[in-house]
């Protein structure tokens, strides 16, 4: 899969959320471009005022339930209520961080995405006009399966609000309602009709925004991260094709051109380093906590929830494992591709005849490093994705799932 074949998945995402208001970062599949809202526009001001506020309120209500369960000795919520609050805390944390991330990086994200597409088009133009280039093709069956899987993920994400909203409203298992009942019981306040109507209106407003906007955020963040990685991989594939091509140009000219294009992608990644680092950390943390909570619910709470409500958890768990596997595979492929391009150049530098040019190329190749995807908080990088990242992630998930199953008794 490359950057050109991901657009059918983007079209599925856009179609699935066509009925919603504009997100600060959105796509135009017809033109294959990123677009962002202007900060002085009415749509952006309404979004920035309403959506982050609802996300923060949902997060605070989830944390409030957990604090009450931890410190209160009376009216302690049940384990199922605590697990739902924990589930809501992790998801609302992801939603809140994504809201503020979109507000901060929407211009840079759209600009860099369009610039990367332009650089990729320039590279393809050079590659197609150069004789002797051997183009490597991906397996069509595997490509079709990957596209269908990602399209199914987008469909599932777009349909999730229509399943979650009725269930939360009519079962009363949403965190604002649970906290509201805890407060009423603790203060011994009687639920009067005006108070009930007000709580219903507040619940509906909060659940609608959190469900619809939260689902769209998951799809948007996943697409942006995946498209960035695929863009880098497609770019590196074209550079590798240029290096392996049997052209009439001198080796020095070919390597100089490849280094110039490699610098573009390296500067692009450097420009987005903080955004990619924070997004990677948020996605990994959310995936870990989401899968940990879901594993516990699927293995130990299958008789607590109604069957139609419980079906959401194993389905979303399998989808999350598939997305995680594809995402980490793509990140590692990016690092390996960049290392392969640099290794090919180091091996071929010795074939340059002129000593001055050979020494200059050797210094230039040694001065650039392979592309690595960072994971961090703010401008501080914790680690980079490597071959052991996925194994460590699964081992930590398995260890914490076992501890949670053994320590919590229903």
pLDDT in tens, 39-58: 888 888 888 888 888 888 88
Q: Give 368's DSSP letter.
A: S
Contact call for residues 259 and 46 (beta carbons, < 8 A): no
Most confident segment among 122-126, 209-213, 289-293, 395-399: 395-399
10 Å CB burial of residue 349 (0-12, 13-18, 19+) is buried
> Is the confidence at residue 134, as pLDDT, over 70?
no
Alpha carbons 151 and 58: distance in angstroms, whole number: 29
The β-bridge relationship of strands 380-384 and 33-36 is unpaired
Contact call for residues 15 and 6 (beta carbons, < 8 A): no
Instruction: Pick left, alpha or beta for residue 403 (phi over 0 → left; psi -120 to 50 → alpha; otherwise beta).
Output: alpha
The pTM (predicted TM-score) of the whole model is: 0.81
At CA 244, angle to CA 242 and CA 246, rounded to 5? Answer: 90
Mean pLDDT value of segment 150-161: 86
Say how far residue 403 (Cα) sits from the centre of its chain: 27
> Is the confidence at residue 275, as pLDDT, over 80?
yes
> Could you give the C-alpha distances from 230 to 104, 227, 316, 326, in angstroms and in order?
23, 5, 24, 11
- Three-class SS state of 35: strand
* Tokens describing residue 163: 């399943």
What does pLDDT average to over the chain? Answer: 82
Position of tokens 């950057």?
A: 3
Bridge partners for 34 per DSSP: 27
Say how far residue 224 (Cα) sits from the centre of its chain: 7
In this prediction, residue 246 carries a pLDDT of 65
Alpha carbons 279 and 164: distance in angstroms, whole number: 25
Alpha carbons 117 and 245: distance in angstroms, whole number: 23
Contacts of 229 (CB under 8 A, 6+ apart): 327, 330, 331, 334, 373
In this prediction, residue 395 carries a pLDDT of 93
> Which position has the higher pLDDT, 172 or 8?
8
């Amino acid at each position: 899969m490359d950057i050109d074949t991901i657009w059918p998945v983007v079209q599925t995402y856009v179609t699935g959320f066509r009925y919603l208001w504009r997100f600060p970062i959105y796509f135009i599949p017809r033109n294959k471009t990123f677009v962002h809202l202007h900060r002085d526009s009415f749509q952006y001001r309404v979004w920035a005022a309403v959506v982050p506020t609802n996300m923060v309120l949902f997060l605070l209500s989830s944390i409030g339930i957990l604090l009450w369960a931890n410190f209160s000795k009376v009216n302690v919520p049940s384990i199922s209520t605590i697990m739902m609050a924990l589930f809501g805390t992790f998801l609302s944390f992801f939603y809140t961080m994504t809201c503020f991330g979109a507000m901060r990086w929407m211009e840079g994200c759209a600009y860099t995405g369009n610039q990367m597409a332009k650089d990729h088009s320039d590279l393809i133009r050079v590659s197609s006009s150069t004789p002797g280039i051997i183009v490597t093709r991906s397996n069509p069956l595997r490509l079709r399966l990957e596209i269908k899987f990602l399209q199914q993920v987008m469909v599932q994400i777009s349909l999730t609000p229509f399943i979650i909203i009725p269930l939360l409203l009519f079962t009363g298992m949403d965190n604002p309602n649970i906290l509201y009942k805890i407060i009423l019981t603790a203060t011994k306040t009687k639920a009067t009709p005006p108070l009930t109507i007000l709580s219903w209106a507040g619940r509906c407003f909060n659940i609608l925004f959190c469900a619809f906007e939260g689902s769209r955020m998951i799809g948007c963040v996943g697409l942006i991260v995946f498209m960035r990685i695929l863009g880098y991989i497609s770019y590196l594939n074209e550079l590798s094709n240029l290096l392996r091509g049997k052209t009439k140009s001198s080796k020095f000219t070919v390597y100089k051109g490849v280094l110039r294009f490699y610098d573009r992608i390296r500067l692009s990644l450097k420009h987005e380093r903080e955004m990619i680092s924070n997004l990677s950390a948020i996605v990994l943390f959310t995936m870990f906590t989401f899968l940990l909570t879901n594993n516990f619910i699927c293995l130990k709470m299958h008789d607590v929830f109604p069957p139609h409500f419980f079906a959401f958890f194993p389905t979303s768990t399998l989808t999350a494992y598939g997305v995680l596997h594809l995402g980490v595979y793509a990140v590692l492929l990016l690092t390996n591709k960049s290392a392969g391009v640099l290794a090919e150049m180091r091996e071929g530098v010795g074939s340059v005849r002129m000593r001055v040019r050979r020494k200059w190329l050797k210094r230039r190749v040694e001065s650039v490093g392979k592309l690595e995807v960072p994971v961090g908080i703010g401008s501080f990088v914790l680690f980079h994705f490597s071959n052991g990242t996925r194994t460590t992630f699964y081992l930590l998930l398995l260890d914490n799932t076992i501890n949670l199953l053994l320590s919590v008794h229903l």
